[in-house]
Structure 1
């Protein structure tokens, strides 16, 4: 039985990487077990680890679900100075999405459910009755 998920990306400078990911995720790390490593629980049982090391070429993307992709894109461009990225959609796909990179070349992205009722049901299932 699989009950949790952890994924790891690497940055060449952990201090800069931790600061960058704190802004991206709008929160401090949940766990810093040792030097050169920070970990965030994104949703219950889903962890993102940022470790100091050599980033792997061609990894990802790790896509994060958001409730307003346009607003989040604008925030990231302003606060993290990332390059603008295109938001895509296709009629057979229930989300719109976009991909960008962090300063270390890690591929990241955002997605937003098109059906807001489905989105709220997913949030309720994952997080409980927490208002977004």
Structure 2
């Protein structure tokens, strides 16, 4: 039985990396057990670990579900100096999606449900509470 998961990305400078990921995730880490390591619990039982070390080239992307992919893309470009990136949308796919890189080359991405009712249902299912902002 699998009941939790962690995903780790590495950055060459933990202080710079932690500041960058704090802006990306809109908050500080939930757990910093020692220097060179920080963790965010993105969803119950789903952790993103940031570790100081050599980034793994070509891994990912780790895609995060967002309510508005365009707003999140603009934030990354304007605040974090991420290179502009394209948002993809295909009729047969229920989400819009995009991929970008952090300054260390880790591949990340966003996705947004095209059907807002489906998005609200997923938020309630995952978080166990209705999304009052939809």
Query: Would you say the 8 A contact 2:120–2:130 is kept in 1?
Result: no
Deviation at 1:128, TM superposition (A): 1.8
Partner of 1:27: 27
Partner of 1:4: 4
Partners of 1:45 and 1:122 lie apart in 2 by: 16
Partner of 1:101: 101
- CA 1:130 to 1:35, structure 2 compared with 1: closer, same or farther past 3 Å? farther
CA deviation string 1:58-101 (max 9, x = no partner):
01000000000001111111110101100001121110000000
Count of equivalent residues: 132
Over aligned residue pairs, what C-alpha RMSD do you find? 0.9
Deviates more, 1:101-110 or 1:75-84: 75-84
Partner of 1:52: 52
Partner of 1:62: 62
Partners of 1:77 and 1:127 lie apart in 2 by: 28
Partners of 2:80 and 2:41 lie apart in 1 by: 21
Partners of 2:81 and 2:9 lie apart in 1 by: 20
Partner of 2:36: 36
Give the TM-score normalised by structure 2.
0.96
Q: Which runs of 4+ in 1 moved over 4 A?
A: none
Give the TM-score normalised by structure 1.
0.97
Partner of 2:90: 90
Partners of 1:116 and 1:22 lie apart in 2 by: 27
In structure 1, stretches of 5+ residues that fail to align are none
In structure 2, stretches of 5+ residues that fail to align are none
